[in-house]
Amino acid sequence: MTTVAAIAAMAVAVYVVRVGGLLLAGQPIPEPFERVLAFVPVATLTAFVVMSLAGRPEEGAPQLIAAAAAGIAVWRTRRVWVCLVVGMGVYALLRLV
C-alpha cells in the first residue's frame, strides 16, 4: 500500500472513533451511564492538568507552585485570564530565582 493510502486508512479510522461517540450519544442511554458521562468533564480535565504538569519533571516545583497559585486565583476571581497571568507570573518569578 502506498503511504498516501496508509494515511487515508488512518484518517478514516480515527474519524470513526471521533464521530462514533457523538453519533451514539443520540441513542437513549441508560441512567447509570448518563450519570457517569456527567462527570467526564471533571475527570478528563484533571487528567489534562496532571499530564501537562508531569510532562517536564525537571521543571518540577516552580510549575506546581505556580499552578497552585493560579488555581487559587481562579477559585477566587472566576476569571480565566487571571489564572493565566498569575500562573505565568509566579512561574516566571520562580524561574528567575
Question: Using CB under 8 A as the criterion, which residues of the chain lie in contact with other proteins when the complex forms?
Answer: 1, 3-11, 13-15, 17-26, 29, 32, 34-54, 59, 63, 66-67, 70-71, 74-75, 78-81, 83-84, 87-88, 91-92, 95
- The answer to whether 84 touches 70, Cβ cutoff 8 Å, is yes
Residues 6 or more apart whose CB falls under 8 angstroms from that of 53 comprise: 63, 64, 67
Closest distance of CB 4 from other proteins, Å: 6
Closest distance of CB 49 from other proteins, Å: 5
For other proteins, the closer of residues 22 and 97 by Cβ is 22
Rounded to whole angstroms, the Cα distance separating 68 from 80 reads 14
